[in-house]
Amino acid sequence: MAAPAEERTLGPALENLTPRAAAALFRDHVHPTSARAFARSSPGKLLALGVVAIVLCLLAGTVTAVTAGDRRANLDVQLAETEPFAYSAQRLYLSLSIADAAAGTAFIYGGLEPLSVRETYLQALGDAAAESTGVAGDEQPGSPARDALIGIATQLPVYAGTIETARANNRLGLPVGSAYLGEASNLMQSTVLPDAEQLYEERAATISTTLQRYEQPPWPAIGLLAAALLGLVLIQMYLLRRWRRVFNPGMIVASFAMLALLAWMTIGASVAAADTRKALDQGNTPLTTLTHARILAQQARSGETLKLSRRDTTGEYDQAYDANVAELRTLLADYPSDAPAADLVRDAQTPLDGWIAAHGRMNDAFGRADYTGAATIAIGSDPDDSTAQFTALDDDLEQGITQTRAELRDEVARASRMLDGLVVGAILLALGGSMFVALGLWPRLREYR
């Protein structure tokens, strides 16, 4: 009972209990010696084991939920931000390349460029400008990605201005127009595109490193889960020996709940890890390859058209074309035959060969100073010539990019969904397990009253 002096003045109400009074109350009720005795007593041991079992259940559930939830959250960030940013960077790069190739193509026609080519240029330039704002993300000031974006955003109007200077001169029939075109293209190829490439590579690498982190199931968490289950089993074996009782149904249900969670975690996380690995191997890796291939094709096309519009005899643009096409050929040849879009890549070989053949014919005509003939091969509409072959190649690569991108996103989404269920399941099973431990031990505890 409470100290009489305090009882008189304050009464026993709980809110009026001073710490000292509470301590006295506790001493009266639970005497140290009796508390020690309680712990050593059978109900005390039973209660302690019950608490340990419940803690094990809750711990296992929490670790599973946190681990799976963390993975799921990071995979969702890939889907919602990282991958779209990387794709946007890729679109930015391609729009810039397409604009440059279209500007060069328009030049070969002379002062009267076809409207369709002009529109291709304007569309690509607009796309690039839009993407350069859309990919901004949340890069910190001073980060390489931010610097690359600033570089692109500030150089793009300079590029567009130089292209228009080139056009105005070209319309007047002045050869200096092609020199301005060359300068603009040099700005694009040596400054803007490397910035865009860096941006893309950085983001593609972010996807790779994140996915690589989740390629393996979370073994430590699974181990902890197994340890919790083992703890529950040991507790039951102890109870069995100590009290010679039949199996405690509550504890058994709790153990099965933990076993189910372990199985779910092992299988679910393994499947999610396999999905992640597939997203990486069948999605991100071929996607990066195909993106690189498409960029090489665009650059080779720029080299081809620039050679003609600049009437280049130094071999500078030929070397660029040959190097790009050789690398492109290697990329396509090394493309794994079991990856998605492998059939498209196989199909792309034909237009690539056709393009290289057309390029050879164009160079022969150019060598004969047959400029009109060379221009016809480079930009004419004959299905065997450069434009048609290049377009077919580019279409194949674009479709391949769409397919591998879908594969990447599908697999990541599947892994995320798999983990999503696991989070909810882990919480429910842990709570259920704890409840059954309590329900199972409560009647035993009551027997000691």
Partner 1 sequence: MRRLTSLLAAGMLTVGLLAGCGTNPSATPPDQTTSYTEPPLPANAELVTETPAPTTTTNTPAVPQPECDDPTASLRPVADPAQRVGPNIDAIRARGRLIVGLDTGSNLFSFRDPRTGAVVGFDVDIAREIARDLLGDPNLLEYRTLGSAERERALQNNTVDIVTKTMTITCARRQKVDFSTVYFLAHQRVLSTMDSSIESLDDLAGKRVCVVDGTTSKDNILAYQPQAQLLTVSSWADCLVVLQQRQVDAISTDDSVLAGLAVQDPYLRVVGPNVSDEPYGVGIGKGKDDLTRSVNATLERIRADGTWNAIYDRWLTVLGPSPGPPAPRYQD
Residues that bind partner 1 (CB under 8 A): 65-66, 69-70, 73, 110-111, 154, 158-159, 162, 169-170, 173-176, 178-180, 182-187, 190-191, 310-316, 366-372, 423
- Determine the Cα–Cα distance for residues 301 and 307; give it in Å rounded to an integer: 10
Pick 313 or 350: Cβ nearer partner 1:
313
Q: Would you say 112 or 115 has its CB closer to partner 1?
A: 112
**CB 184, min distance to partner 1, A:** 7
State the sign of the Cα–Cα–Cα–Cα dihedral 172, 178, 182, 188: positive
Longest distance between any two alpha carbons in the chain, whole Å: 120
CA distance 43 to 52: 14
Residue 162 or 434: the one with the smaller Cβ distance to partner 1 is 162
CB of 128 to partner 1, least distance (A): 17
Going by C-beta distance under 8 Å and a sequence separation of 6 or more, which residues neighbour residue 119?
A: none
Token pair recorded at residue 3? 């100290």
CB 177 → partner 1: shortest distance, Å? 9
The C-alpha atoms of residue 425 and residue 414 are separated, in whole angstroms, by 17
- Give the residue with the Cβ less far from partner 1, 173 or 220: 173
Q: Cα separation of 17 and 22, whole Å?
A: 6
Q: For residues 167 and 317, give the distance between their C-alpha atoms in angstroms, rounded to a whole number.
A: 21
Residue with smaller CB distance to partner 1, 372 or 381: 372
Burial class (CB in 10 A: 0-12, 13-18, 19+), 5: exposed
Least distance between partner 1 and beta carbon 29 (Å): 36
Residue closer to partner 1 by CB (options 294, 310) is 310
Rg (CA), the chain: 35
CB of 175 to partner 1, least distance (A): 5
Which amino acid would we find at residue 285?
Answer: T
Closer to partner 1 by CB, 366 or 436: give it: 366
Give me the least distance between CB of 6 and partner 1, in Å please. Answer: 40
Return the percent helix, strand and coil in the chain, to nearest 5.
Answer: 85, 0, 15
- The answer to whether 89 and 287 have CB atoms below 8 angstroms apart is no
Taking the complex as a whole, the smallest distance from the CB of residue 361 to partner 1 amounts, in Å, to 15
Q: What does the block give as tokens for 19?
A: 């710490």
